[in-house]
Structure 1
Amino acid sequence: MMTTGQAAHHDVRRGELAAFLRSRRERVVPEQVGLPRGRRRRTPGLRREEVAQLSAVGVTWYTWLEQGRDIHVSAQVLDAIARALLLDPNEREHLFTLAGVADPAPGTECATVSDPIRTMLRQLEPIPACVQNSRYDLLAYNRTYGNLLCDLDSLAPQERNCMWLAFTHPGWEQGLVDREEVIRAMAAKFRSAMAEHIAEPAWKHMLGRLQEASPEFREIWERHEVMRTTPGRTKRFLNTHVGLLHLDYQIMWLGPRQGPRMITYVPADAESRARLERLQELTLARQVAAA
């Protein structure tokens, strides 16, 4: 049985946990987790029901957690909540500490991109590089990548998804020289990765968008092809400003396999390197002109 002091400490910690969860929920916008905003949204950030859906827990149970009620919470549920709220490693550790539960996977990577990774992306220029997750969302990219197949900065955040662009954006489609092979592989990898996220609304929302927008995607999806990540190889891109590029595709994993990764496109020949340098010059010139 708890002493009076222990009970008081427990109450304080539950109150801190409740306040922390509310603050983290209110900072995440629906588009960040693949959910539609809708017209009647008065709550800043996500609704409790949306966090519950993303975490695969009951709405009532999650509400009690945010209200600081004395309920038991498992490590698996806390892990799901941490992912749903896009917690960084420090926030994740704080969540488990407040809940009084040992983290089964300390140091788990999250969907955020650290400042050192962003610096690395800039330093790689003119080599195009980006960070994406297993759903093909573009989490970060450098300026060369941002102008490789279209002007990514001009797109809404929810449109910055490589598979969505490959099936729906005319400029992106035209820039993929071997597009038929590329989109078939992307759909197969998406299906393989989705097996681990089958009930998550963000994944189902992306799948639904693609099926509604692209008959071509629907046809490929019905084949039920699966593929894990393939080793690096040379890819061909047709850039509207500098022409054909032969680039060696390489992956650096930032977390568990099938999770977040940095992708670089290193020029495979001298001509492609010269054209990437020219693309960088054009990009910088446009930025100066727009300033």
Structure 2
Amino acid sequence: MSDVTEQQRRELGAFLRARRERVSPVDVGLPGSSRRRTPGLRREELAMLAGISATWYTFLEQGRDVRPSRQVLDAIARALGLAGAERTHLFAIAVDEPAPTSPDQVLDPEVARVVDLLDPAPTYVTGATFDLLAWNTAAAELFRGALDHGEHPNLVRWVFLDQDARYVLPDWTDVAQGLLARLRARAGRHPGVAVYAELEADLRGASPEADRWWPRYDVGTPGAGIKRVRQADGQVQRLAYTSFDVADRPDQTMTTYRRQKYGEIDPSGVR
């Protein structure tokens, strides 16, 4: 196992605490009580379910210098009911060494050419903090206003801080929560990196929703699905989208859209 930093240990503790507070005792076969002072499971209950010492688990949440094995992390993940992106995130912040410097925002020119070649399918590439690194004409027309903020406009800032985004995105709450979950996952894997801390502060300082949702520690990964977008003429169209990690640039993502065909099943299972 690689060494972990003090900031990374604190991040692990915050994630475990947020997830523990979401688990109802009834969900795991324990008696519930209306007299509980805190939401979710107690630390002692979670430790019992995971088969580990309550004191040792408390040290984990407190960010103490203890080194959980993969077997212990797996037991905690099962006790918390973690799967998919949440389980992956647990192992990433507990085991892997985070990036010590600002993430790479340099885009390969060949990737930018692919974005242009995909026009008229709206396509863009985002960096580690969701700065828009490349986009084609169709994307600029679809997400009008998102690209009007400097050399590298930021998708998260537009969604949360520009009121026009709520008009362009009829399902704004779902889109915003999903985007913030992906940012939260990346920030958790880069504790102490200034660009993430600055973006968090800006969002939470100006957006009540971001301030309320950030401590919940929802995490997500890029994927596929359906997004509704309101066009300039007021008509709402449903677009299927797919996201891909850029080769050799794990923090860069290409997302491309196409008009959804009638009767087509949503690949994400949700709107």
Tell me, yes or no, if the aligned pair for 1:165 and 1:173 is still in contact at 8 Å: no
Distance 2:203 2:127 in 1: 17
Deviations 1:52-84 (A, max 9, x none): xxxxxxxxxxxxxxxxxxxxxxxx99x85xx64
- Residue of 184, 198, 219 corresponding to 1:205: 198
Tell me, yes or no, if the aligned pair for 2:124 and 2:135 is still in contact at 8 Å: yes
Matched, 1:193 2:182: no
Distance 1:257 1:178 in 2: 30
Unmatched tracts of structure 1, length 5 or more: 1-75, 87-109, 271-291
Unmatched tracts of structure 2, length 5 or more: 1-96, 263-271
- Residue of 158, 165, 174 corresponding to 1:181: 174
Q: Which moved more, 1:113-122 or 1:191-200?
A: 113-122
Distance 1:238 1:176 in 2: 6
* Aligned residue runs from structure 1 range 1-291, under 5 A: 84=102, 110-157=104-151, 160-229=153-222, 231-241=223-233, 243-255=235-247, 259-269=251-261
SS in 1 for 2:110: helix
Write the letter of the residue equivalent to 2:251: G
Tell me, yes or no, if the aligned pair for 2:105 and 2:128 is still in contact at 8 Å: no
Q: Tell me the TM-score normalized by structure 2.
A: 0.55
Question: How much does 1:153 deviate?
Answer: 4.5
Question: How much does 1:245 deviate?
Answer: 1.8
Q: Tell me the TM-score normalized by structure 1.
A: 0.52
Deviations 1:59-114 (A, max 9, x none): xxxxxxxxxxxxxxxxx99x85xx64x7xxxxxxxxxxxxxxxxxxxxxxx42122
Tell me, yes or no, if the aligned pair for 1:193 and 1:258 is still in contact at 8 Å: no
Distance 1:117 1:194 in 2: 24
SS in 2 for 1:222: helix
Write the letter of the residue equivalent to 2:260: A
Distance 1:180 1:142 in 2: 26
Question: How much does 1:219 deviate?
Answer: 1.1
Q: Percent sequence identity over matched residues? A: 20
Given the superposition, is the C-alpha separation of residues 255 and 198 from structure 1 closer, same or farther in structure 2, using an over 3 Å criterion? farther
SS in 1 for 2:251: coil
Given the superposition, is the C-alpha separation of residues 258 and 193 from structure 1 closer, same or farther in structure 2, using an over 3 Å criterion? farther
Question: How much does 1:242 deviate?
Answer: 6.5
Question: How much does 1:257 deviate?
Answer: 8.1
Question: How much does 1:268 deviate?
Answer: 1.1
SS in 1 for 2:124: strand
Distance 1:153 1:180 in 2: 21
Distance 1:111 1:266 in 2: 26
Write the letter of the residue equivalent to 1:246: R
Asked which structure has the greater CA Rg, the reply is 1
Tell me, yes or no, if the aligned pair for 2:123 and 2:257 is still in contact at 8 Å: yes
Distance 2:217 2:105 in 1: 27
Q: How many residues align?
A: 166
SS in 1 for 2:224: coil
Looking at secondary structure, tell me which structure has more helix per residue: 1
Tell me, yes or no, if the aligned pair for 1:176 and 1:238 is still in contact at 8 Å: yes
Question: How much does 1:131 deviate?
Answer: 0.5
